[in-house]
Structure 1
Amino acid sequence: MAEETNGGNGAAAPAQPQIKMQVLAQYIRDMSFENVVVQKGLAGVEVQPDIQVAVSLDARKRAVEHQFDVVTKFKVTSRNKVNNETLFLLELEYGGTFHVEGVADEQLHPFLLIECPRLLFPFVRRIISDITRDGGFPPLNVDTVDFMSLYRQELARRAQVAAATAAPQPN
């Protein structure tokens, strides 16, 4: 077997660290569903739903080495386009405990907030679909979330806040 070389100078290429990721647990941390239509008794009102989905993420190191908790937070609000009345409100915090090794320190934060939520998302989608159906509405199949874009937006927002606080204040 031939040895790999780097640039033909005879030096062996450094081995890339093997990334190891394992989902240790998945869980609903918090969930709330309010069927406002039934509570208010809006019978006979024309309904044209407008659904808004807000997503936020949180990651935290656990006391055990290489273990992290990642929580995806979804807030789904359905309003009637006709009169802007709320039809339902769903809030779901869905988490996972992950064992992650071999990721460089500078890449760990994006890895936790992009790859881990990506693995949790199909389960979140199913829960939201089931809850909206069980709550008296057609099942809601949430569109796929681009966690990389979400991460980049958060970095840009943080940079903007940092720039605004670092700017000299007028006298």
Structure 2
Amino acid sequence: MADEGDVLTNLDLDNTAAGNGADNQPVAGIINQYVKDLSVENPNAPACFQWQSQPNIDLQFNIGSQRVNEELHEVELKVKVTATSTEGELYLVELAYCGLIGMRNIPEEQGHAFLFAEAPRILFPFARRVISDATRDLGFQPLMIDPIDFNGLYLQQMQRRADEEAAAAANGVPPPAGQA
């Protein structure tokens, strides 16, 4: 029986390069994923377990990307969850869940969309599990965050930027630095 290393090494997928010997096929994928930072607080325990009012959940997301080298980016999905009730704060969970994204031969606009829409979509279920486990470990019901349409959010953000740039151009205002 072959071990996993042999199976992966001997797949013998069509690795042939282009006719000129160059590797010019577009490739993108997750190389690794990890928890970069996790903060979990239950500031009013054990008193909060006696509180009867329904919790109010505030959920915030932020997506960032940083170039590691020419073919590697770190995509960071930040999630902040605050649960409060009329009696006080129940818990606070802050998570920075990251993925190392490899990209080669991808046009810049498609690479940007992959980093800010597709990569977060792939990372989200894993970040969701970390949040669920953290809230359960705090002594509360696991928080199951609803799925998020990262592609739709990305398209909305790009449209908003385009509208802002068009409005600024119509008013004779130059675009912000770095967006020219």
For the aligned pair, the TM-score class normalised by the smaller chain equals 0.7 to 0.9
RMSD over aligned CA atoms reads 2.4
Which structure 2 residues correspond to residues 3-18 of structure 1 after superposition, within 5 A? 18=25
In structure 2, what is the equivalent of residue 38 of structure 1? 45
SS at match of 1:154: helix
2:77 pairs with one of 63, 72, 75: 72
Distance, in Å, in 2 between the alignment partners of 1:127 and 1:153 is: 27
Structure 1 residue 159: Cα displacement: 4.7
CA apart distance, 1:149:
2.5
Q: Secondary structure at the match of 1:36?
A: coil
Alpha carbons 2:25, 2:105 under 8 Å: kept = yes
User: What's 1:21 paired with?
Assistant: 28
Matches within 5 A, 1:49-60: 49-60=55-66
Go from structure 1 to structure 2 and tell me whether the alpha carbon gap of 1:165 and 1:32 turns closer, same or farther (over 3 Å shift): farther
Task: Give the partner amino acid of 2:106.
Answer: V
Report the TM-score, using the length of structure 1 for normalisation: 0.75
Q: Which amino acid aligns with 1:112?
A: L
Q: Which residue of 1 aligns with 2:19?
A: none
Are residues 163 and 46 of structure 1, via their aligned partners in 2, closer, same or farther at CA, if it must alter by over 3 Å?
farther
Following superposition, the deviation at residue 152 of structure 1 comes to 3.0
- Relative to the length of structure 2, the TM-score reads 0.71
Counterpart in 1 of 2:21?
none
Q: Is the 8 A contact 2:48 2:90 kept in 1?
A: no
The count of residues paired between Structure 1 and Structure 2 equals 149
| Local SS of the residue matching 1:96 | strand
The amino acid that maps onto 2:94 is E
